[in-house]
Structure 1
Amino acid sequence: MGKFVKILLLSVCVGFLAVKWTEPTFDAESLKGARVLVTGASTGIGEQLAYHYARFGAQIVITARREKVLQQVAEKCKNLGAQQALYIAADMGNDSDPDKVVDFALERFGGLDYLVLNHIGPVPFGMWEGDVEHVRWLMKVNFFSYVQMAWRALDSLEQSRGSLIIVSSLLGKLSSPFMAPYSSTKSALNGFFGSLFHELSIKKSNVSVTICTLGVIDTETAMAKIGDLTIIPAYPASDAALSIITGGAKRTAEIYYPWLTYIATISKDWFPSVTNFFIQHAIKYDP
């Protein structure tokens, strides 16, 4: 490796650590009694988000499609220390359900302090073969419903000096083969909520926006699709969830988990050929 490249990588690492050291510290007490709505909370990262918020003593509304599973998660949240743990089943592909969920939380809690948007629709892993309708439906679930819920909750978050937390993905910054519809929805999230962050800052709004860029996480769904196909290590969903929560509580504009996702994000501009080679060879594919 050339001397220049080594110095460049070292500078990035030092800069990243410097930013981390100058961030506000995480105050766990600030989450006690906080009014939180978490979407996609029946499994995976969303479920772990609910459990962590419960341990911090928050008031939680969780939502997903499967009511029986939500009931079980809510019960566990109560046992872990949540001041309240409510649930509402909803399908984010339905035009009215995103508003219904936000209205439910506002009615029960009288407002919101955190809106954590985490849900995703099912995505097949493989070459895209022209299913435009699926892309349109997935965009509705993974993107438009986020925008809809954020707008519905914005006034309440403004009053509470609240936080809007968007769970995105490295694939929203680095396009990957075999995940074209999913990558497109995450790219849309980054673009829209990145713009919203600036607009709210210009207006001196009380609402913070945190966009979370996640790498491969060891959720059951992800491992079933790519667990044996990728050379990229998977990281614990519980740790990812805690990183999301602390970033939102500190009102950090962007978080990366694991931290190597940050290096991967900037590498595409510095070393595009190397990055493209790695992306195309990180997943085993047998045509």
Structure 2
Amino acid sequence: MAKLKIVLILLAVYIAYQYYDSFDPEEVRGKSVVITGASTGIGEQLAYHYSQLGAKVLITARREHVLQKVVAKCKELGAQDAHYIPLDMGKLEDTKRLIDAAKTKLGGIDHLILNHITNNYMALWKGDMEKLQRVMDINFRAYVSLATYATPMLNESNGRIAVVSSFAGKVATPFAALYSASKFALDGFFSALRQEFVMQNMDISVTLCIIGSIDTPNALEYSKTVYSGDLFYTTSADTASRIMKGATLREREVYFPWTMTRPTVMVRDLLPSVLEWMIKSSMKEDAVEKGRQ
């Protein structure tokens, strides 16, 4: 009984710690922030959160006309400086262009927020190797390239890297094998890179962000196609706020929403067969047929 009480106390302390907010907004003011995938969703909201706190931002995505609107709003919200550059993260030369632009326009990088993805993945795996290459190029290789090019500037600023991953990067997700693979790869690479920075006496933090279901059109379409019943969704704005705070506080990993993501990952480690059964049971009867389409 005494041991159970100790376990429960430790669990309560752990949960309370997850909800304790020690974030100081002044730590963001004046920082140079680069955000990818910033035309919509989490990336757009990250740009607004950083701008409201007086950061300098450089954002990128492919659609220039949307980026123009986001930058205009960033300036309205109080960004000390705001720039955009339309780029395709599927092209390695564009990843270098972004980091070069950060040096020219911002004078360096304090926060590198890696957020972009390609969403073309909602199907059963049918052996499409070209699609696999495309997904890995955008969702993984571009992240590695950006972090690599940015390392010298981040080393000078004792900067931060935030890697926006997913629940699917910790728990393999049916009908999203390519997406899951790219997110698992991020975990492996950046968890190793974090250790290598320490070994080289580089004070660069790496925050891996494990994000649950967001109320974006792509996420809603995926759940509508695959799952029966209603899932819990959080907003892009709340998610972006948590990512910004996690990066600023140099957290190792961010789970958001914590109650949806962290316990499920723990079940994966302890009872993987049970978790797979739960996932299968929650799916629509015709999910496989739709996945073939």
1:137-156 paired onto structure 2 within 5 Å: 137-156=134-153
1:283 is matched with 283
1:67 partnered with 2:68: no
Gaps of 5+ in 1: none
Of residues 74, 79, 84, the one that matches 2:76 is: 79
Q: Is the 8 A contact 1:114 1:165 kept in 2?
A: yes
Query: Which deviations, in whole Å up to 9, do the C-alpha atoms of 1:111-151 show, x marking residues without a partner?
Result: 11000000001223121111111011110000001000001
Quote the offset at 1:255 in angstroms. Answer: 0.6
2:177 is matched with 180
Amino acid at match of 2:14: F
1:205 is matched with 202
Mapped to 2, the partners of 1:202 and 1:95 lie a distance apart of 27
Gaps of 5+ in 2: none
1:162 is matched with 159
Quote the offset at 1:225 in angstroms. Answer: 3.0
SS at match of 1:98: helix
How many residue pairs end up in the alignment? Answer: 282
SS at match of 2:79: coil
1:237 partnered with 2:236: yes
SS at match of 1:96: helix
1:269 partnered with 2:266: no
Amino acid at match of 1:264: T
Mapped to 1, the partners of 2:10 and 2:213 lie a distance apart of 22
Mapped to 1, the partners of 2:211 and 2:200 lie a distance apart of 29
Q: Is the 8 A contact 1:37 1:61 kept in 2?
A: yes
Q: Is the 8 A contact 1:123 1:181 kept in 2?
A: no
Q: What is the aligned-residue identity percentage?
A: 41
Q: Is the 8 A contact 1:232 1:282 kept in 2?
A: no
Mapped to 2, the partners of 1:89 and 1:251 lie a distance apart of 29
Of residues 189, 194, 214, the one that matches 2:191 is: 194
Query: Which deviations, in whole Å up to 9, do the C-alpha atoms of 1:38-91 show, x marking residues without a partner?
Result: 000001110111111111111000000100000011111111111111000000
SS at match of 2:139: helix
Q: Is the 8 A contact 2:214 2:235 kept in 1?
A: yes
Seen in structure 2, the aligned counterparts of structure 1 residues 25 and 248 have a Cα distance that, compared at 3 Å, is same
Quote the offset at 1:246 in angstroms. Answer: 0.2
1:55 is matched with 52
1:16 partnered with 2:14: yes
Mapped to 1, the partners of 2:144 and 2:68 lie a distance apart of 26
